[in-house]
Amino acid sequence: MSGSGRLLSTSLTAGDESSPRIVGGHGAWFTLENGREVIDASNTAAPLGHCHPEIVEAVARAAAAPVINEGWHWAEREQAADDLIGIAFDGEDWAGAVRFFISASEANDAALALCQALTGRAPLATRERAYHGGAGLARELTVQPQWHGGLSRAAGGVSAPPRLATVHQLPAPCGARVTGQPDPTRGEGWTGRAREMLAASAAVLLDYSQGGVYHSPAYQDRVADLARQAGALWIADETVTGFGRVGGWFQFQHGRSRPDLVTMGKCMSAGGAAAGAVVLSAEVAERLRGTSWQSYSTYRAHPVAMAAIRAHLRVSRRDGLYQRARELDGLMLDRLGQIAARHPSVARVDGRGLHWTVELHGPDWRDWRGEDPSPLASRVVARALEADVLIATSGEQTSLFLAPPLVVSEAELEQIFAALDHGLALADGEAGP
Ligand SMILES: Cc1ncc(COP(=O)(O)O)c(C=O)c1O
């Protein structure tokens, strides 16, 4: 519970201390209720920062739209589909058609169900430590232990609801650029088992950042080849990495292979409205010809979401923001390398562009039970907030992540590194390797 006690806690950030009350924002900054301003250093839904005037204007205009559901035609919805393919998928001639959803969770659930229908197979595959959302099949493929949709064991109760599908977990390519951990998916040793899993699966859903796992293009290409040979479809989950977070419109573009479906959400509407989407390859879209995709929800493709998506695409292309993370990758790598070398509490640092994960020594992520009311990662976040920067945890006990708006300045990034330094000093005193 929080505040008056009527609102159930989301448990995204364990412990109240690391979760201040926010009343406003501008650029990379949040305004807190006591008037303090802090840098928002981990918000993958705010690529243009907070309250960007062109997003505010687009949403205000669209608020005057009539009340229409997914079933009625709305001109700006078709324009949004054209913009998405024409701008973000420019040069990707294989991309065929778009369907909009309310969230990335919903988009993943619908895409997975579609793949089951297309292949006649029920099991699904992802990779270890993946996060794909909190609803339906997306939640089933969220294999991080703390997001199973049930209860933590903190109250002595248990635990996870029964599963909706058999889920195969491919090994995670968890090498690290900064701290140098080796990648267990180098070489071919892992592919025999992966081949078997994929042969039994309708689809493999791959994201590129969750659980602190940042795929190499080689891993993507190898899984894509194996999936194709095994008759499984490949869905690229670009919810976090899409629209410039890692430099370029999408992470899958760093490899040679191209997905059958791409799912997205979060930053797509630059925070202006709840929105998700599935982009189908022309080949998959062709397989739907003469049929209809039997799935509906009232608020999907809402006029406010369409307007926000279009404004985001326009601004990102015009201002080159979708490229900016590529330019800042070297600075992030350098500074986080220095920080990792200074702090014995740091076990692993990896990332790309403007998305980075810092893992601390401490309990193994597989052992999560939700029993600790004040996990180390949350206390580090609270300490960093003393230096006016909000970094985040993702419900784990020892993981921190950094993902500032793409409009962040280099001076603001330096402030983020200083705050992380300050926060980690607390962990150094407690967590030994
Ligand atoms: C990779 C990935 N996919 C899907 C989702 C689900 O997005 P949403 O919570 O907006 O439905 C998330 C959310 O963090 C995510 O990180």
Classify strands 233-237 and 203-207 as parallel, antiparallel or unpaired. Answer: parallel
Please check whether residues 73 and 30 belong to one and the same domain.
no
Residue 310: predicted pLDDT: 98
Please check whether residues 355 and 285 belong to one and the same domain.
no
User: For residue 10, is it within any domain?
Assistant: no
Q: Does the global pTM surpass 0.85?
A: yes
Please check whether residues 281 and 209 belong to one and the same domain.
yes
- Pocket residue to mutate for ligand 1, from 213, 239, 393, most atoms within 8 A of Cβ: 239
Task: Print the domain residue range for 349.
Answer: 16-52+320-428
**DSSP labels, 386-422:** TTTEE-EE-SSSSEEEEB--TT--HHHHHHHHHHHHH
Taking CA atoms only, the protein residue closest to ligand 1 atom 13 is: 133
Please check whether residues 90 and 141 belong to one and the same domain.
yes
Please check whether residues 80 and 160 belong to one and the same domain.
yes
Of 111, 136, 343, 339, which is closest to residue 234 (Cα–Cα)?
111
User: For residue 4, is it within any domain?
Assistant: no
CA of residue 264 to ligand 1 center, whole Å: 8
Higher pLDDT, 11 or 289: 289
CA of residue 136 to ligand 1 center, whole Å: 13
- Pocket residue to mutate for ligand 1, from 100, 139, 266, most atoms within 8 A of Cβ: 266
CB 209 within 8 A of CB 241: yes
Please check whether residues 289 and 305 belong to one and the same domain.
yes
Please check whether residues 255 and 275 belong to one and the same domain.
yes
271: left (phi over 0), alpha (psi -120 to 50) or beta: left
- 277 ligand 1 Cβ < 6 A: no
User: For residue 246, is it within any domain?
Assistant: yes
Of 312, 295, 313, which is closest to residue 100 (Cα–Cα)?
295
Q: Looking at the predicted structure, is the pLDDT value of residue 17 above 60? A: no
Please check whether residues 345 and 207 belong to one and the same domain.
no
- 264 ligand 1 Cβ < 6 A: no
Q: Which residue has the tokens 């071919």?
A: 188
- 42 forms beta bridges with 403
User: For residue 245, is it within any domain?
Assistant: yes
- 105 ligand 1 Cβ < 6 A: yes
Residue 158: predicted pLDDT: 58
Element (H, E) at 383: helix 376-385
Residue 107: predicted pLDDT: 98
Please check whether residues 277 and 325 belong to one and the same domain.
no
Taking CA atoms only, the protein residue closest to ligand 1 atom 15 is: 132
User: For residue 433, is it within any domain?
Assistant: no
Please check whether residues 100 and 38 belong to one and the same domain.
no
- Pocket residue to mutate for ligand 1, from 132, 235, 243, 300, most atoms within 8 A of Cβ: 132
Confidence label for 428 from pLDDT (cuts 50, 70 and 90): very high
Residue where a domain stops, chosen among 266, 284, 319? 319
User: For residue 301, is it within any domain?
Assistant: yes
9: left (phi over 0), alpha (psi -120 to 50) or beta: beta
CATH, residue 190: 3.40.640.10
- 210 ligand 1 Cβ < 6 A: yes
Residue where a domain stops, chosen among 319, 351, 372? 319
Q: Which atom of ligand 1 is nearest to the CA of 266?
A: 10
Q: pLDDT for 220-278, tens place per residue? A: 999 999 999 999 999 999 999 999 999 999 999 999 999 999 999 999 999 999 999 99
- 47 ligand 1 Cβ < 6 A: no
CATH, residue 370: 3.90.1150.10
Taking CA atoms only, the protein residue closest to ligand 1 atom 6 is: 133
- 266 ligand 1 Cβ < 6 A: yes
User: For residue 70, is it within any domain?
Assistant: yes
Please check whether residues 299 and 347 belong to one and the same domain.
no
Mean of the per-residue pLDDT values for the chain? Answer: 93
Please check whether residues 367 and 304 belong to one and the same domain.
no
- Pocket residue to mutate for ligand 1, from 103, 131, 251, most atoms within 8 A of Cβ: 131
Angle at 351 (CA atoms; ends 348, 352), nearest 5 degrees = 160
Residue where a domain stops, chosen among 293, 319, 345? 319
Bond from prior residue into 4 cis (ω within 30 degrees of 0): no
- 240 ligand 1 Cβ < 6 A: yes
Confidence label for 184 from pLDDT (cuts 50, 70 and 90): very high
- 241 ligand 1 Cβ < 6 A: no
Q: How many domains, the chain?
A: 2
The tokens describing 418, both together, are: 């200083």
Residue 11: predicted pLDDT: 62
Residue 171: predicted pLDDT: 96
Q: Looking at the predicted structure, is the pLDDT value of residue 72 above 80? A: yes
User: For residue 57, is it within any domain?
Assistant: yes
